[in-house]
Amino acid sequence: MVKKIFHDLDKVGQQSAVNARHEFLVQGDDIPSCSKKIHAFLDGYQLVRYGTVEIEEATSLAGNSPGFPGRLEDAISENRRRIRDFLQELHKEGVETLLQLETLPQGYQSKTLHTVTHLLDGFFGIDSFFYNLVEGSHGISDELRKKIAAEPAAYMLIAVKAST
């Protein structure tokens, strides 16, 4: 049974295409330079291959924008929500303790667990909403938070729509 718990992934037309939305934290002071970094990352990344990547300039934010801190926290929270959703899905499938992982059947449950571990360990994937391109993670270190606070104009939150 195929389950759909990804709210922003869907099928397009007759083909099975994946549509995803991401927000990247990037070090840079303008959208063109940050976009180049995102494209270079995605072009060289072997775990995810998109056919199209669209930078959403209108919804991207500079670090010195008033809405930046809240939007950044919302993006990180969205990753956490996705992890919770996956864990709840595993629980619905009967996984109640870590000891059960030893005998977890290959298939939907193991793939769901695999996605959770990617979100926890920092591997970018189609299920990532927020990705910190500066540190290569789904969170932000205290050190980077201090750097952003000291020089907010040097960072941007870039909104991206991508599809396979």
Quote the CA–CA distance of 60 and 32 in Å, as a whole number. Answer: 11
Residue 19 CB coordination number (10 Å): 17
Residue that the structure tokens 């809405």 belong to: 67
pLDDT in tens, 77-92: 999 999 999 999 999 9
How many H helices and E strands in the chain?
4, 4
CB 103 within 8 A of CB 96: no
pLDDT in tens, 31-66: 999 999 999 999 998 888 999 999 999 999 999 999
- Rounded to two decimals, the pTM is 0.85
Q: Where are the domains of the chain?
A: 19-163
pLDDT at 114: 92
Task: Find the distance separating the first CA and the last CA of the chain, reported in whole Å.
Answer: 23
